[in-house]
């Protein structure tokens, strides 16, 4: 928004609403009107007369007018063949000064009128000077004049203001797509300009908006004119329209705008403009713009584009608001990448970065939200690094460095998508199935999603000083479908354990996790688990605060993870735990892991040589029976081993450099 503007109270709301519903629109432009209301002054005489514009302009509070009838006479206005002059003048409280002189020696009459009424009649010989009341009361109804109703191309292909100088009578009140926008006021979708500076500074004044418009439309985005948004513009407030300085700025910028790629031609054009105006433009301004010219030519000779490119880094996720393990993994990578510059967090729907930062306890201070309703593969080429962390995404990438965080592979990947990414699998289990579904030749390796857990030293101290209790813990979303945590099966195994072994009453089962009360199926499942545990030493804790959950991890000595029970290992591999961030977190707190024998947690338990695996509800009961029957001091010692190995694993894996670090370092150099 230019500084020389005033706005209608709803101008921004209208722009936001327009861009919100138009996913392919990069810019929304308002209707721009001149600052004041205008009225037409008609000067009718029985002979040729000339209106002295210098006198008129000296009396105007707002130096703007439009000649509707009459011809130029050495910077003044001469009446037309009908001896008429019509000029649109801004209404004002004070009088306007009029001076006319006749082109003959004859005496004559002259009448001054507006569209509404005659305001003055007089006779004169050679010339006449008078002051006219040009207030609203003096001239009647006045109207606004259009400065810009969007911008279009003229017959020479150069951009121009649509509707410039027309009275605003509703003829430009229909939304439409246009090739250019006016830089006086616009709402620009940041997604469209993430890889470039918004305006080319070497334009200095004029045509920088036209260059950006041309680039935006060539990139596949649209420019929308939204006339319900209204801005009032003083126009040419920084340079007097028609002055030598104004003409110099316009012609110089025209030369840059029409640059076709031949640097020598641009050099000649800029030199010609400088010579043409060197004696009529302020020397200091001329010196500044000459430096701009040289800087631009130097950049173009080096093979760069007219505008400066930014090396943008973006992480795309359609489900930030679900706050799952995949989102946590992606945000921890974003936090690490912030050392290289701002990180764009991308989604099709709105989300709250501050809430995510607080929820996951991750620093996202240099991350920015980028919401784009329609994300297409062509748009990804604007990024230097594009990271796709959306579960089951089929979006190919055209960025030079493209990475895909694989939570688990889907079965609908195109060859175009597979060839466009380097895949970062969250576990060996996920990598095995990705290579089975997508082919063994795909590029990628395992990168465990534990960066968000690296700050484990505080937890180590907390565990070493905290006394463990006879608590069996399981943490996970209460959801009976898909990738279920199977709390009901855990509850059944625990009930069978207590029924079979009386001393198990000394233990307590705690089931914690998120519960969406808006999902009736989830709530029903929660209550079915609760009924199963009635009368037992058990507790169900939905939607706990993070500190309270950490306390639970510190108290518990056994952690159960049952995702995968009842699922077919070959036909339903996606229903098993792909990695299992929560089990790893439990290990950091010294919880002895008891996990289903297929999936990421089982692979990790075997790798670290800790914990236990089970294959069914019965074997889960058997494993818990064995553990709860042991002397508690033995479990405490085992707990410390689990905590040590789990924390060592997290510390080692979380500190491994990201595969893109080398690329970014080379680029920065």
Tell whether the model's pLDDT for residue 39 goes beyond 60: yes
How many angstroms separate the CA atoms of 653 and 180, rounded? Answer: 50
pLDDT for 504 equals: 83
Quickly state the pLDDT bin for 324 (edges 50, 70, 90): confident
Tell whether the model's pLDDT for residue 81 goes beyond 60: yes
Q: What are the domain boundaries of the chain? A: 5-32+144-233, 35-143, 244-301, 312-449, 455-654
Instruction: Please list, in sequence order, all residues whose beta carbon lies within 8 angstroms of the beta carbon of residue 9, skipping any fewer than 6 positions away.
Output: none
Across residues 516-536, what is the average pLDDT? 95
Tell whether the model's pLDDT for residue 505 goes beyond 90: no
pLDDT for 115 equals: 79
pLDDT for 220 equals: 86
First to last CA, the chain: 36
How many angstroms separate the CA atoms of 65 and 45, rounded? Answer: 21
Tell whether the model's pLDDT for residue 664 goes beyond 80: no
Tell whether the model's pLDDT for residue 361 goes beyond 90: no
Across residues 231-242, what is the average pLDDT? 72
Quickly state the pLDDT bin for 264 (edges 50, 70, 90): very high
Q: Please report, rounded to a whole number, the percentage of residues in the chain having pLDDT higher than 90.
A: 76
Side-chain half-sphere CA neighbours of 629 within 13 A: 11
pLDDT for 140 equals: 81
Write out pLDDT tens, residues 139-192.
Answer: 888 999 999 999 999 988 899 999 999 999 999 999 999 999 999 999 999 888
Tell whether the model's pLDDT for residue 402 goes beyond 90: yes
Write out pLDDT tens, residues 169-183.
Answer: 999 999 999 999 999
pLDDT for 247 equals: 93
Tell whether the model's pLDDT for residue 609 goes beyond 70: yes
Across residues 514-531, what is the average pLDDT? 95
Quickly state the pLDDT bin for 235 (edges 50, 70, 90): confident
Quickly state the pLDDT bin for 667 (edges 50, 70, 90): low
| Sequence-ordered strand ranges (E) for 213-366 | 222-233, 312-316, 343-347
Higher pLDDT, 531 or 115: 531
What are the residues facing 84 on neighbouring strands? 44
The 3-class SS string of 391-444 reads: CCCCCCCCCCEEEEEECCCCCCCCHHHHHHCEEEECCHHHHHHHHHHHCCCCCE
Contact 451, 579 (CB under 8 A): no
CB atoms within 10 A of CB 99: 16
pLDDT for 466 equals: 67
Contact 463, 589 (CB under 8 A): yes
Task: Please count the residues of the chain.
Answer: 669
**Identical fold, 5-32+144-233 and 312-449:** no
DSSP 8-state code for residue 191: G
> Kind of pairing, strands 367-371 and 538-542?
unpaired
Quickly state the pLDDT bin for 8 (edges 50, 70, 90): very high
pLDDT for 245 equals: 92
Write out pLDDT tens, residues 40-59.
Answer: 999 999 889 999 999 999 99
Across residues 271-278, what is the average pLDDT? 94
- Architecture label for domain 5-32+144-233: Alpha-Beta Complex (3.90)
Alpha helices, DSSP H, located in 302-427: 325-337, 353-360, 415-420
Write out pLDDT tens, residues 408-425.
Answer: 999 889 999 999 999 999
Across residues 606-627, what is the average pLDDT? 95
Q: Which CATH class is domain 312-449?
A: alpha beta
- Architecture label for domain 455-654: 3-Layer(aba) Sandwich (3.40)
What is the tally of helices (H) and strands (E) in the chain?
20, 30
pLDDT for 460 equals: 47
Tell whether the model's pLDDT for residue 623 goes beyond 60: yes
The overall average pLDDT reported for the chain is 91
pLDDT for 456 equals: 47
Write out pLDDT tens, residues 331-356.
Answer: 999 999 998 889 999 999 999 999 99
């Amino acid at each position: 928004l230019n500084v020389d503007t005033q706005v209608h109270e709803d101008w921004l709301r209208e722009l936001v609403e327009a861009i919100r519903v138009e996913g392919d629109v990069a810019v929304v432009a308002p209707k721009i009107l001149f600052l004041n209301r205008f009225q037409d002054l008609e000067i009718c005489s029985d002979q040729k007369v000339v209106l002295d514009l210098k006198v008129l302009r000296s009396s105007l509070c707002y130096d703007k007018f439009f000649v509707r009838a009459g011809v130029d006479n050495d910077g003044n206005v001469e009446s037309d063949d009908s001896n008429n002059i019509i000029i649109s003048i801004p209404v004002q409280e004070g009088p306007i000064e009029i001076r006319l002189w006749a082109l003959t020696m004859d005496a004559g009459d002259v009448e001054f009128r507006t569209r509404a009424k005659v305001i003055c009649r007089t006779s004169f010989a050679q010339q006449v000077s008078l002051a006219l009341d040009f207030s609203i009361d003096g001239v009647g109804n006045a109207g606004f004049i259009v400065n810009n109703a969007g911008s279009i191309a003229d017959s020479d292909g150069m951009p121009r203001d649509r509707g410039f100088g027309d009275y605003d009578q509703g003829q430009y009140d229909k939304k439409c797509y246009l090739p250019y926008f006016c830089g006086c006021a616009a709402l620009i979708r940041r997604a469209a300009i993430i890889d470039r500076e918004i305006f080319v500074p070497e334009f200095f004044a004029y045509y920088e908006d036209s260059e950006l418009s041309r680039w935006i439309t060539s990139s596949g985005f649209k420019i929308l004119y939204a006339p319900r948004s209204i801005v009032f513009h003083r126009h040419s407030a920084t340079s007097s329209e028609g002055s030598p300085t104004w003409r110099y700025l316009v012609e110089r910028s025209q030369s840059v705008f029409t640059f076709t790629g031949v640097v020598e031609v641009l050099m000649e054009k800029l030199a010609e403009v400088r010579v043409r105006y060197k004696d009529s433009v302020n020397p200091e301004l001329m010196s500044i713009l000459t430096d701009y010219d040289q800087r631009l030519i130097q950049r173009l000779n080096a093979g760069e584009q007219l505008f400066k490119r930014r090396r943008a880094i973006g992480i795309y996720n359609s489900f930030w608001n679900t706050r799952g393990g995949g989102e946590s993994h992606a945000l921890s990578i974003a936090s690490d990448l912030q050392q290289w510059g701002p990180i764009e967090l991308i989604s099709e729907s709105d989300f709250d970065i501050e809430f995510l930062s607080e929820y996951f306890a991750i620093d996202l201070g240099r991350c920015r939200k980028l919401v784009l309703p329609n994300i297409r593969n062509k748009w990804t080429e604007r990024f230097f690094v594009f990271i796709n962390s959306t579960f089951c995404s089929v979006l190919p990438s055209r960025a030079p460095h493209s990475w895909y965080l694989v939570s688990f592979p889907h079965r609908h990947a195109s060859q175009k998508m597979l060839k466009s990414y380097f895949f970062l699998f969250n576990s060996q289990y996920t990598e095995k199935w990705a290579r089975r579904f997508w082919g063994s030749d795909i590029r990628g390796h395992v990168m465990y999603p534990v960066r968000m857990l690296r700050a484990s030293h505080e937890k180590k101290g907390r565990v070493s000083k905290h006394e463990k209790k006879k608590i069996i813990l399981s943490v996970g979303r209460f959801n009976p479908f898909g990738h279920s945590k199977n709390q009901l099966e855990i509850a059944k195994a625990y009930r069978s354990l207590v029924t079979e072994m009386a001393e198990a009453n000394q233990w307590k089962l705690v089931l914690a996790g998120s519960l969406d009360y808006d999902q009736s199926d989830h709530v029903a499942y929660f209550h079915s688990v609760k009924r199963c545990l009635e009368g037992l030493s058990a507790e169900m804790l939905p939607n706990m605060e993070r500190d309270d959950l950490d306390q639970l991890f510190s108290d518990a000595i056994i952690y159960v993870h049952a995702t995968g029970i009842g699922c077919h290992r070959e036909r339903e591999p996606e229903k098993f735990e792909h990695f299992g961030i929560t089990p790893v977190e439990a290990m950091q707190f010294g919880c002895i892991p008891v996990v289903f024998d297929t999936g990421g947690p089982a692979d990790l338990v075997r790798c670290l040589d800790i914990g236990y695996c089970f294959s069914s509800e019965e074997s889960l009961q058997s494993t818990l029976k064995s553990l709860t029957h042991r002397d508690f001091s033995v479990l405490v010692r085992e707990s410390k081993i689990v905590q040590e190995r789990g924390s060592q694993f997290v510390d080692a894996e979380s500190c491994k450099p990201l595969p893109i670090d080398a690329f970014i370092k080379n680029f920065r150099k």
